[in-house]
Structure 1
């Protein structure tokens, strides 16, 4: 990047177990920006819809997610990457994205399995995944070791989490 180019965008990472509220918060955050200012990169969309592949260490999902997010950061967008993003598989990619962003902010949900199952039952796509599948994906609290994540527990509503993310992202873009 040369001195005349716009600075890299702002990275916002929303991580947590399935059903914890990440996608809802990402949509609320994006809706608060003008069209074209905020790119949401959902791990599930990349993995399930674009690539139709299983979540495993050698999956192309990780590279595609990184490529899309890096594209948005290079254009100065607020880039919201959201998904379960198991720390063991995604830490390196998230660290690489943080290194190219002008600023990065990490948020993670620490919600008990019982609560994620309860929340999942209220979603439109509740029929898409079984309780057994959700339980198999559940990994508990998995902090990243290169950054301190803002931790949301089950008491934090989607609106309150979105407001916190927006406050942080807006402050970063000033």
Structure 2
């Protein structure tokens, strides 16, 4: 059984932190995190534009994990206009698909960024260029995560929802 989890939202909202924390709740090799930033910015070093190679590569990596029956967490800004078609194909390819989207104000994302370990990586001015507000996907009911959700509540919810997709004996941490 394959489970796709999509965690989207603006820069510095907590997507990567949540995805990695959920992964830690599963045994080694049971959960694959596919971070948009790593694929786009590090592996390919390309801008975030329509039709960019990272979109196809993200899809291939996720399909690989789904075919192996893993929990696959695709996380990133994942702008609906550029990544929506790919996410729709992934959703159709999974036995179960769960969608979460951080819906934070620009001011909240800047506040979170300033307190993060990546604060020196990019400026609030750069973040303003990337900020797109709420962009719901037309094909999925996304759980909307606002500023009232604490980190542990986010991780608990995602983990609980994954487990509800079916009994996964490998969900215990080693």
TM bin, normalised by shorter chain, reads: over 0.9
Q: How does 1:144-159 map to 2 (within 5 A)?
A: 144-159=137-152
What are the Cα deviations for residues 65-109 of structure 1, in whole angstroms up to 9, with x where unaligned? 000000000000000000000000111101100111010000000
Aligned to 1:79: 72
1:118 matched to which residue of 2?
A: 111
> What do you get for the CA RMSD once the two structures are aligned?
0.6
Partners in 1 of 2:28 and 2:115 — Cα distance? Answer: 29
Residue 137 of structure 1: CA displacement?
A: 0.4
On the 8 A contact 1:14/1:108 being kept in 2, the answer is: yes
Quick check: 1:31 aligned with 2:30? no
SS at match of 2:120: helix
Q: CA deviation at 1:53?
A: 0.3
Partner of 2:129: 136
TM-score normalised by L of structure 1: 0.95
* Superposition TM-score, scaled by structure 2 size: 0.95
Q: Deviations over 1:93-145 (max 9, x none)?
A: 01100111010000000000000000001111110001100111000000000
Partner of 2:47: 54
- Could you say which residue in structure 2 is the equivalent of 1:161? 154
How far is 1:146 from its partner? 0.5
Q: Which runs of 4+ in 1 moved over 2 A?
A: none
Unaligned runs of 5+ in 1: 1-6
Distance 1:145 1:58 in 2: 19
Distance in 1 between residues matched to 2:166 and 2:70, nearest whole Å = 9
Contact kept? 1:10, 1:173, Cα under 8 Å: no
C-alpha distance in 1, partners of 2:24/2:166? 16
1: distance between equivalents of 2:19 and 2:132? 21
- Equivalent residue pairs, number: 167
1:173: Cα distance to partner? 3.1
Question: How much has 1:158 moved relative to structure 2?
Answer: 1.4
Deviation of 1:32 after TM superposition, in Å, equals: 0.3
